Amino acid sequence: MTNTTAKICLIATGGTISSIYDEQTEALRPGLSVDALLDRLPKGMGDIEVIKRELFQLDSANAQPHHWQTIAGAIKKVSEEISDLDGIVITHGTDTMVYSASAVSFMVQDFGKPIVFTGAQIPASVPWSDGPRNILDAMRVAAFGDLGEVCIVFNGEIHRATRTKKVRVNSYDAFDSMDPSPIGILARDIVLYEGRKKRDHSLIPRFDTRLDDRVFLLKIFPGLPPQTLARIVDLGYHGIILEGFGSGNIPTDENALTGGILQAIDQGCFVIVSSQCAFGQADLSVYEVGRAAMDVGALSAYDMTSEAALVKLAWVLGHTHEPDRVKEMMSISYVGEISFHPEVVHR
């Protein structure tokens, strides 16, 4: 494959990688065009043809769920326009990259080729930026990687989008995979590990951008007032990701949350319990304080990251609010968002 010209699409959405220093505000803001990003790469990339698309100039802190849908729509459009596309690269801000990449994972399934998110910790306009290297690495994976899923390529590592967290503010290695390890690394060759989805040109992509974005992410802390859950429901939210302690534990004595969870569920709001821990999983059967949440109707997020759980619940609720169907869909690992659990169906 490397002996022929590969064709990829680079979709730019803004972020630090495209940022410039604004003299008026004395701060960074997105401003570099796709052409300006490509101009910072080494010359002589004759084996990769790049189709360019400018989608936003957005700081990813301003990204909203409708932007996820727009990105998925842009992928659909370019894939319909260019039948011999080898892969897609999306430049994006690091702050909410995990949310956007996870959302695209659910919205664009069975694509059969790489959809690669990347960005930078230092603007590409700065000589020592990590942006050019990350774009080059992302383009290599999109063009030549034997990969058929949405991933984040950053600092020489390839992460499954739905298993990733941003864990460092300033370091070049901003992202880590949350059990299992990254699905690949970039060295002299592209090294990919087993367990990934491989390229499959026989697949027919499924584009489904339906969302119910009325999903709330709430981190439990000592002293959290139980009535907070009722207030969230009163605000019109249809789902709550509840970040519990440890394996998904909640207060059941003073400031007990069981009543609030039960009331929310009775009002048609779905409650999913994840863990505040980066590694491990929510297992509500281990402790009484976890089982209490399960006994009043809360569902487990298993080992999903809170970001992936939020995006997945929004996507599921975009399809159904029928309790049994929501429970069933949340227990299916559609795009590798759940690494392992005996109760989970893996697709």
Q: Which amino acid is at 24?
A: Q
Which listed residue (16, 91, 209, 258) is catalytic? 16
Which of 156, 152, 116, 117 minimizes the C-alpha distance to 133? Answer: 156
Catalytic residue among 59, 86, 91, 94: 94
Q: Residue 59 catalytic?
A: no
16 is catalytic: yes
Strand pairing class (115-118; 48-58): unpaired
Q: Does the annotation mark 327 as catalytic?
A: no
Which ranges of the chain does DSSP label H, i.e. alpha helix?
34-39, 65-81, 97-107, 131-144, 227-234, 258-266, 288-295, 306-317, 323-330
Dist CA 118 CA 120 (whole Å):
7
Catalytic residue status for 94: yes
261 Cβ partners below 8 Å, 6+ apart?
229, 242, 250, 271, 293, 296, 297, 298
Identify the bridge partners of residue 121 per DSSP, sorted by sequence position.
none
CA atoms within 13 A of residue 20's CA, in its CB half-sphere: 9
Half-sphere exposure of 227 (CA within 13 A, CB side): 0
Backbone phi, psi, residue 11, to 5°: -105, 120
| Beta carbons within 8 Å of 322's beta carbon, 6+ residues apart | none
The active-site residue out of 76, 110, 146, 166 is: 166
Q: Which entry of 86, 95, 212, 283 is annotated as an active-site residue?
A: 95
Residues labelled catalytic: 16, 94-95, 166
